[in-house]
A and B are shown apart, each in its own frame.
Chain A
Amino acid sequence: MIGLISYLTFFFTIALILAIAVLGLNLQWGFTGLFNGGVVAFFAAGAYGLIMLGGPARANEFGGFDLPYLIALAGGVLLSGVLALVVGLATTRLRHDYLAIATFGVAIAIESVARNAEYLTGGAKGLRGFERPLEAWVGQPQLYSFLFLCVVIVCLVGVYIALEKLVDSPFGRLLRAVRENERAAQSLGKSPAHIRLTAFVIGAMIMGLSGGLYATFYAFISPQDIAPILTFQIWAMLIVGGSGNNRGAILGTLVVWGGWVGSGWALTAFAPASMQLYAGSIQYILIGCIIVFTLLARPRGLLPERLTTTQYAESSVEKR
């Protein structure tokens, strides 16, 4: 029983950390229509930023300032924001697939920097030795994991509420206007470029927060953590859950991540012994099937976007 609780605490910690990144992508793609193919770049900026600012000093290397945790976390989030600002400004004229390719390239570049800039990022072996905040004070590992999960839940709920408020506001309508028809929005005197950049930076900072929490949890980050597969995983979670719906984004994360690791567990538990060696490969097939069948059954995701029209629009429809 204690084992099960311990595992579930762990599972939800990772799943909900990823859910935060999915919410960030939902703001960019779901509400604004920005095809970010380099989610992992902003996740990495948050993670590396945190460990470089808050980690212990390393011999002959930059970083390791041992700053207080919250400042280090904020620094990581800010680093994601700055990266997004630079990328956003550089790609301001790009749309859809072009933006996707450009951001994908940025992610590859960031991974390459992490792998090579040893004095900055520790190179391929990564950064370790980070002391998790208050861990020594709490003492008991089980209790600490539980408290950490609570912190992740607080962050997730905070991001969720803030995003719900944001997309319900006039600014949220503007985001959807840009998504649906940029020229129409422009004709109403709005600046789509500015709106897109704002959504891109906010979304990226949310991904940075997710990366920061991830690095805190493992107290370790290496280029293997920021492989392109993570971008795919986060996209799959959003699409399965329902883009344009924040609750869908969270549900999609739980379903996809649960299926991803659950299939591995189920195969070792139930597949015959002779198949165990191939379980890893079968797991990939299962993961693919879960995604495909969810989309066949619910093409717009598990919880599709709730499209609302304003009361004025409704009354004008009635009059006609």
Chain B
Amino acid sequence: MRKVNLLSPRAALLSLLLPAIWISPTSTVLAADCETKIGAVLPTSVDWGRPIAETAQFAVDLFNESGGVKGCDIDMVLRDSQVDPKIGVDAAKALVDLDKVPLLLGAVSSGVSMPILTSVTVPSGVMQMSCCSSSTGFTDVAAEGKTNGLWFRTFATTRNQAAVAAKLVQDKGYKSVGIFYKNDDWGQDIGKLVKADLEKLGITVTTSVAINDAQPSYRAEVTEALKTKPEAVYMALYPAEGISVTREWVSLGGTQKMVVANSLKSDEYRDGVGFQYLSDVIGHDSAPPRTDSADSFTAMYKEKFDSEPNGPGLPNIFDAVMISLLAMEAAPELTGAAIAAQVGKVTDPSGTPVNADAAGLKEARALLADGKSLSYQGATGAVVFDANGDVSAPAVAWTFTEDGTAEAAYYPLADVDTFIATLSK
């Protein structure tokens, strides 16, 4: 075989052609001439976790279609957490160390997000934003200054939900309340907070009973609560155990005056208990807000997935992705700290309001290029983070009807925040 002489005309021709061949395939693709990786650790192997991951990818695609971050497409590297802290932390560590992501989305369970935060993202200086971890523990960590401002979540904390529950009890004029709470981190948190809030409002809490999953009967728990003769009950339960507890409660002669958490806002619960026993029920929920941006999310979601965004955490993960990516666009360099520092700029209440759709994102880019700040209006409304990376949210009160649920009252964000402020005094 003959060697190609580097000085020959043929070699010269080759050297001219090669770069041309190299460039041609990429130049035909418009936005995708570079890629920036971000990481996501979500429980994709769990039934309610997969829609969250789908929505995250949907938000990333939407952002890429509008031009990506700094002209580069975002590649979201998705790992399953298996709802196991060991696995979730390992996945996060691999994303941070091997894929070098400056931003991590996740996790869902507080028990997974917490070790990721303390042993992966904070030591490595990576920004972490969760859609769904509600534990008050994160507020404590942030308040101790141990998150270095790298932690955010778009899920209204349990603090917010509990305050609204207390407000409903107060508005209804109940004087004594018994509490049933689900025995997990969310339930324990909200049970304790509601109890404290009610006591602060001068309402007697007669008892606070933990409800474990998957028991065949809750007669013992219900009887115990019944003995304390509360005027009304508050339930922070999921439908499965909520149905059993409510049925036993009502059949043993307990009051039908009930205040329930958003987790019971389901047809399954209404049909399982029977609507005739639920006419005096009022529930609280933190979404959706009264904004066009929330409606536009619902519309975009329906168009894409052909169903309502009804699962837990879907609007929240959408906003988490959008805010993070806008902050990346605004950041002078793609490091965790630099991105985290821009989150305030894209969620500035005094900034120009922009929606999370194609037109809004385009406008956002132009504003950021001019160095202006934005007020992101997303699926959960105008998101504003406090110093601990927490968000507050407007609330609705709802009741059951023959064929679904109906709204009873709307509490705008300002009202909720004022009420929480009076409780924290």
Contact = CB atoms under 8 A, between A and B. Distances in A.
Interface residues of B, number: 51
Contacts of B212: 112
B146 to A, nearest CB: 9
A48 to B, nearest CB: 14
Given A10-B93, A128-B141, A276-B78, A220 B119 contact: yes
A291 interface: no
B363 interface: no
Most chain-B Cβ atoms within 10 A of its Cβ — which of A116, A217, A265? Answer: A265
Interface in A242-293: 260-261, 264-265, 268, 276-281, 283-284
A222 interface: yes
Given A218-B85, A276-B78, 19 more contacts: A11-B90, A115-B183, A124-B111, A141-B123, A219-B118, A222-B185, A224-B84, A224-B109, A225-B85, A227-B84, A229-B84, A264-B79, A276-B57, A277-B54, A280-B44, A280-B46, A280-B82, A281-B44, A283-B82
Interface string B53-80: 1100100000000000000000001111
A268 B83 CA distance: 18
Nearest to A261: B90
Interface string A286-303: 000000000000000000
B119 A219 contact: yes
B97 A4 contact: yes
Interface string B126-153: 0000000001110001001000000000
A283 B80 CA distance: 9
Most chain-A Cβ atoms within 10 A of its Cβ — which of B50, B77, B83, B94? Answer: B94
Most chain-B Cβ atoms within 10 A of its Cβ — which of A4, A112, A225? Answer: A225
A277 B77 contact: no
Nearest to A17: B86
A277 B78 contact: yes
Contact of A124 (B78, B86, B119, B184): B184
Interface of A: 3-4, 6-7, 10-11, 14, 112, 115-116, 118, 123-126, 128-129, 141, 217-220, 222-225, 227, 229-230, 260-261, 264-265, 268, 276-281, 283-284
Which secondary structure characterizes the binding site on chain A?
helix
B87 A222 contact: no
Contacts of B77: 268
B84 A220 contact: no
A51 B212 CA distance: 26
B112 interface: yes
Most chain-A Cβ atoms within 10 A of its Cβ — which of B77, B80, B100, B124? Answer: B80
A284 B81 CA distance: 12
Contact of A284 (B45, B112, B115, B210): B45
B85 A277 contact: no
Contacts of A6: 93, 97
Nearest to A265: B94
B98 interface: yes
A279 B94 contact: no
A7 B210 CA distance: 40
